[in-house]
Structure formats: C-alpha cells, structure tokens
Amino acid sequence: MIDTTDGTFAGDVLESDVPVVVEFTAPWCRPCRAIEPWLQELERRHEGRLVVARLDIDANLAVPGRYGVLSLPTVIVFADGEPGETIHGAQPRRRYEEAAARAAAGSGT
C-alpha cells in the first residue's frame, strides 16, 4: 500500500499502468483502519495487476474535493486515469474483493 498525496496523486494513480484502488482515509477514522488489512491483502493477492493507495484527507484537500469524497472511508477504483467503481462507507470484505477482482481482470496483465 502506498501513501499518495495531492502532489503525487497524478503520478501514483492517474498515470499508473495498472488499476489503483484508492482509500480516502484519515487517522481518526476507525472504519478506515478496519478495512486497511483487507485492502493490503487484496493488493498482495493481485500483485502486479493492481495497486492499493491511501490518501489522508486531513492533509490533502484538493484530490478528495475533486472526486467528491464526502464520507469515510471512500474507496475509488481508478483505471487508465479515470475513476470507476466507488464504495462508500465500510462494507463487507466481499465488496472490496469483488471490486479488486474486476479491476485486476481489466488490467490486461
């Protein structure tokens, strides 16, 4: 899992050769901390076919504003520089697994 910022988001996410699952999070967000191990596991399971990144919304205001992030956690799957599937709030583990599998399958690698 990489930490991305307003300054590195374009390179880390939008210009990535593989889909990127971005978790919009904050240090005080307990549901965010609860899903992070699941997201890290998904990245390991789909190694080379997708990347997982997290963005701290308290320290980075521009990117969350650009993508309309209003609640935490919000997870957005980016592919080819475009936002796709969005998951709002803490959801069952299966929901993240399905989104990651769809993204990894579409990566073409």
Q: Is 29 a catalytic residue?
A: yes
Q: Catalogue all structural domains in the chain, each as residue range(s) with its CATH number.
A: 2-88 (3.40.30.10)
For helices 30-45 and 93-105, give the axis angle rounded to 10 degrees: 40
The model carries a pTM of 0.94
pLDDT tens for the chain, 109 residues long, are 999 999 999 999 999 999 999 999 999 999 999 999 999 999 999 999 999 999 999 999 999 999 999 999 999 999 999 999 999 999 999 999 999 999 888 864 4
Catalytic residue among 13, 20, 21, 29: 29
Q: Is 80 a catalytic residue?
A: no
Catalytic residue among 20, 32, 39, 100: 32
Structure tokens at 16: 């990535």
Main-chain dihedrals φ then ψ at residue 75, nearest 5 degrees = -120, 125
